[in-house]
Amino acid sequence: MARTGRKKPGLRVLVWLGVLLAALTAVLAGGTVAGQASWAPKLALDLEGGTQMILAPKVEGGSDINEQQLNQAVAIIRQRVDGSGVSEAEISTQSGRNVVVSLPGTPSAETRNLIQASADMNFRPVLLNGDGAAVPLEQQTPEDQLPKPTAAPANSSDTNWITPEIYKQFEALDCNSAPEKSQRSDPTKPLVTCEPATDKSPAIKYILGPVEVKGTNIVTSSFQLQQGAQGAVTNDWAVNIQFDADGTAKFKDVTQRLNQFYVAAGGESGADPKSQFAIVLDDQVISAPRSLAVITDGRPQITGGFTEQTAKALSDQLKFGALPISFDIQSEQQISATLGGEQLRMGLLAGLIGLLLVVVYSLFQYRALGFVTIASLVVAGALTYLAIAILGWTENYRLSLAGVAGIIVAIGQTADSFIVYFERIRDELREGRGLVSAVENGWKRAKRTVLASKAVNLLAALVLYFVAVGNVRGFAFTLGLTAIADLIVVFMFTHPTLQLLARTRFFGEGHKFSGLDPERLGAVPLYRGAGRVRTPEDRLVVVRTKNTGAAAEAERRMTIAERRLAEKQEQLAGSSKTSAKEDK
């Protein structure tokens, strides 16, 4: 039978897949040679063990810490640890007084200092803002056009604080990537920093002037529904701040100056960034409201698109983030893996058993075609392993037992994609098509199903990752990662491989051990000879006249409508035989 189309379809795609695997391997090998990476994935606290530190919170002035303050302190420590790149850390309270921090491996001196430091909240005026993305090197401002101070700064809002070095740092800053932790900023100097992206707004970067009001000047903060001009309560949420006497005086001077920029720019339409003041927690902007009026009573109100949840979050940060709480390390000890190597071995054994069952089923159900499933699983495993190892090097990702469970679950989901594709091909063969066209038509039908299935898997993984905490996020991460690897393998390996195999003699001519034998599948040729073309009724008659072997398999796969039509034909055939006997 003549074959049409490209001589070796899919070969180019397989070559690109090989290039991708080689590139990932080269990246990991380069990191390993440089001594920064390892061929083995990094393991989380439950599998590797690490360091446990018990921290005793300390408030300046010797006052006691309450439960709300302690919970806020835990939230700040968790944010710092996550920001420093340490993953799979466990942070909790102990006896309502201490904080227990468990970190994989041995924490660095910088991480220890970061955990122990007290929260640093302050208010800085905005000098300049811009899009959070870094300016490409070729588009950055030339040296001779950089802003240069013309005099000594007169106040914290003076743009003479912006030196060429500060402006270069501003242009190069990328707020869409994880920030690098450094020493705490000098409150008497300008600061280049970010306001992280939210669901409603993208990331923004700022050049801020020196500190003018400290967080310790905040007495309290609260959140409430905003009142309108007539005193009626609206559906908009607002955050209220109350300063002490010193903070009230300072904030009055600040808002008097910032409001002048607001008025001079024509109000909201002008949007002069110098009319904003940034609330900075640990050198990161958490809010940057605009000064619409001079605040003389030390009771400003922040408005602007808050929900109840976001208003509460900002209020808590203002109330507790400004507290001068630091931590003393009471004890530090090395802890063994909470689950240990035995649990890891049992988890890997469960994965191997699951993989073996998939292999046995594939070979039993699809014979030689099952080897394509096995090869696809090997490629998917290689992609996943390389991705986890590289993420461990670049993002300090650590594989927990929950993450291993996510990979094991994904084995079955990955095999599902191949089964859907193979069954579509076999359906096409039952319709009497040749293998080459069956592969192409089957792929068109299977592709939509595979994409829909993986989209659901990815959506579930994303939701689980963002709403869960702790090790559950590790499960969600590996589940989503393997779903992406599965898509790459199905599109770049499984389908191109079948395109090549369809043109071989063993598969193309339907060897009985190929898993694609048309006769065994109960196929009826489209052209039946003597000018006859196959009809749906012909296929049903052939199926119903046999009850074993391939015909039985084809009958089992019939739809309800096909079964009813076949039964109706049997009844008509039986009636015809009865009439013939009576005539005799």
Question: Residues near 328 by Cβ (< 8 Å), separated by ≥ 6?
Answer: 55, 56, 58, 116
Domain membership flag for residue 413 = yes
- Written as six digits, the tokens of 187 are 């409150």
Can you give the residue range of the structural domain that contains 565? Answer: 527-583
Same domain (yes/no): 362, 491: yes
pLDDT at 257: 92
DSSP string, 535-582: -HHHHHHHHHT--SHHHHHHHHT--HHHHHHHHHHHHHHHHHHHHHHH
CATH number assigned to the domain comprising residue 455: 1.20.1640.10
229 in the same domain as 181: yes
pLDDT at 545: 44
Query: What pLDDT does residue 143 have?
Result: 86
pLDDT value, residue 380:
92
Do 55 and 74 belong to one domain? yes
* 374, 499: one domain: yes
Cα distances (Å, whole numbers) of residue 565 to 533, 544, 554, 555: 19, 11, 15, 12
Residue ending a domain, among 473, 508, 543, is 508
Q: Report the alpha-carbon distance of residue 175 to residue 198 in Å, rounded.
A: 12
pLDDT at 569: 67
Answer yes or no: do 128 and 111 share one domain: no
Residues 396, 278 share a domain: no
CATH code: domain of residue 108: 3.30.70.3220
491-526 pLDDT, tens digit per residue, is: 999 999 999 998 888 888 878 888 787 777 655 544
In this structure, the answer to whether residues 392 and 461 fall within a common structural domain is yes
**Percent of the chain residues past pLDDT 70, beyond the cut:** 78
Q: Would 1 be classed as within a structural domain?
A: no
- Those residues of the chain that have pLDDT short of 70 are 1-9, 59-64, 79-80, 82-88, 110, 113-114, 116-119, 178-183, 229-231, 268-270, 320-325, 337-343, 469-471, 521-567, 569-584
What pLDDT, on the 0 to 100 scale, is given for residue 575?
62
User: Chain-centre distance of CA 133, in angstroms?
Assistant: 19
* Pair 450, 470 in one domain: yes
In a domain, 540, yes or no: yes
- Any domain includes 332: no
Indicate if the alpha-carbon torsion angle 523, 524, 529, 533 is positive or negative: negative
pLDDT tens per residue across span 42-79:
887 777 778 888 888 776 655 667 777 777 777 777 76
Q: How is residue 469 annotated by DSSP?
A: -
Q: Are residues 129 and 110 in the same domain?
A: no
Structural domain count, the chain:
4
Are 422 and 475 part of one and the same domain?
Answer: yes
Question: What confidence score (pLDDT) does residue 255 get?
Answer: 92
Residue 1 in contact with residue 491, Cβ under 8 Å?
Answer: no
Distance between CA atoms of 210 and 158, rounded to whole angstroms?
Answer: 10
Same domain, yes or no: 345 and 409: yes
Same domain for 90 and 188?
no
Residue 324: inside a domain: no
The confidence score (pLDDT) of residue 1 equals 39
Residue 148 has a pLDDT of 85
